[in-house]
Amino acid sequence: MSSGVTDFEALVREALSPVEPPDDLLARMELTLVNLTELAQDELEAWELSTMRDPRKWVRPAAAAVVGASAGTALVVLRVRSRHRARKQQSSSLFDLAERTLADFAEEARRVLRDS
């Protein structure tokens, strides 16, 4: 390779420098992923306890699949997560909490799919 090409490559390297992501992007990504993982664990525990008693609750994976398949996954998770405390306070038992969460998930998924 000639030195001309090498010089040119150096210029290309300068022009195409790595672009630093905005400061809040890393924080936002972390929050999204933490919510994603925490929610999954949280909801799973609640769901498992109730499902052992009531096969009607087996519908939850289907709702989760709907959420997982949509492009608005993070949005659904964040919105549902943000209302978690309120649901917990309103619920009389884990069974009730799981039911409310399922309904909230399904409603939010429908809303995001409708808007997308």
Partner 1 sequence: MADDVPKNKVELDARFTELYRRHLRDVYSYSYYRVGNHHDAEDLTEQTFLQAYRHFERALRESNGRPLRPWLIRIAHNLAANFYRDRSRKPESAIEDAGLISAPHTTEALVEGREELKAILEGVSQLPDDRREALIMRFALGMDNREIARALGRTDGATKVLLHRAIRQLETMVSANAGGEPV
Residue with tokens 């009389």: 92
Q: Which two tokens stand for residue 43?
A: 């909801």
Contact call for residue 16 and partner 1 (CB under 8 A): yes
Contact call for residue 70 and partner 1 (CB under 8 A): no
| Interface residue with partner 1, options 3, 14, 114, 115 (CB under 8 A) | 14
Q: Which is nearer to partner 1, 48 or 54 (by Cβ)?
A: 48
DSSP 47-89: HHHHHTT-GGGGGHHHHHHHHHHSTTHHHHHHHHHHTHHHHHH
Contact call for residue 36 and partner 1 (CB under 8 A): yes
| Interface residue with partner 1, options 20, 23, 55, 115 (CB under 8 A) | 20
* Backbone phi, psi, residue 115, to 5°: -80, -20
The minimum distance between CB 112 and partner 1, in angstroms, equals 13
